[in-house]
């Protein structure tokens, strides 16, 4: 199943200052999340960002805050699944009212908050597309197993670049040109 720009929205889970340094391939995760943010901005689809207990784990990392610009509007949470946070839950249901039922999911940690969020979204009828290289865990093994479980549960697990090209659909457009710095 392809991501369709009219149906998609982006969810970024907990890419925070005190979590990121321990994440396997942290820089790759950040770079790929930035590409997804650029994609959402390019096509104007909704973007939700969460921060798990920011007082203890810090805010979203600065390179991502810079990429988000005016879209930096974190939803604070204490629950591991984003769907357990009432503000987040209300926003995703509001987004679905606009016909957007495809979630592009990125963030950390793959085997905790991302995994639980994915399963709750799937259970609620959303189509979930996990950008496997835009999610991470401290241990590579936990990352890989979480991807397997999400795929087994019905999520589409694919590279960020696949998602970007699915939405772009063709080369030579202004949107394609604006995404080139993120996919080179």
Active-site residue identified among 77, 82, 133, 158: 77
Tell the residue number behind the tokens 């590409």, with chain if given: 35
CB of 178 closer than 8 Å to CB of 35: no
Domain ranges of the chain: 8-183
CATH architecture of 8-183: 3-Layer(aba) Sandwich (3.40)
144/118 Cα distance (integer angstroms): 15
91/57 Cα distance (integer angstroms): 23
Active-site residue identified among 14, 34, 133, 158: 14
pLDDT per residue, tens digit, the chain (184 aa), is 899 999 999 999 999 999 999 999 999 999 999 999 999 999 999 999 999 999 999 999 999 999 999 999 999 999 999 999 999 999 999 999 999 999 999 999 999 999 999 999 999 999 999 999 999 999 999 999 999 999 999 999 999 999 999 999 999 999 999 999 998 7
How high is the pLDDT of residue 183? 87
- Can 34 be counted among the known catalytic residues? no
60/134 Cα distance (integer angstroms): 15
Active-site residue identified among 34, 101, 113, 133: 113
134/107 Cα distance (integer angstroms): 6
Among 70, 61, 63, 68, which residue's Cα sits nearest to residue 38?
68
How high is the pLDDT of residue 184? 75
- Can 113 be counted among the known catalytic residues? yes
H/E element, 131: strand 127-136
- Can 177 be counted among the known catalytic residues? no
How high is the pLDDT of residue 93? 97
183/160 Cα distance (integer angstroms): 9
CB atoms within 10 A of CB 184: 5
């Amino acid at each position: 199943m392809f991501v369709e720009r009219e149906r998609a929205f982006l969810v970024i889970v907990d890419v925070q200052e005190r979590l990121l340094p321990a994440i396997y391939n942290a820089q790759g995760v950040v770079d790929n999340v930035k590409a997804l943010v650029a994609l959402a901005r390019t096509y104007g689809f909704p973007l939700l960002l969460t921060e798990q207990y920011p007082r203890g784990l810090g805010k979203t990392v600065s390179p991502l805050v810079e990429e988000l610009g005016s879209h930096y509007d974190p939803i604070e949470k204490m629950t591991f699944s984003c769907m357990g946070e009432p503000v987040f839950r209300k926003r995703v249901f509001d987004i679905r009212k606009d016909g957007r039922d495809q979630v592009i999911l990125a963030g950390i940690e793959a085997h905790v908050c991302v995994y639980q969020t994915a399963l709750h979204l799937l259970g609620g009828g959303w189509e979930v597309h996990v950008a496997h290289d835009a999610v991470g865990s401290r241990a590579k093994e936990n990352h890989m197993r979480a991807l397997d479980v999400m795929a087994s549960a019905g999520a589409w697990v694919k590279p960020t670049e696949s998602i970007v090209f699915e939405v772009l659909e063709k080369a030579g457009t202004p949107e394609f040109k604006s995404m080139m710095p993120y996919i080179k």
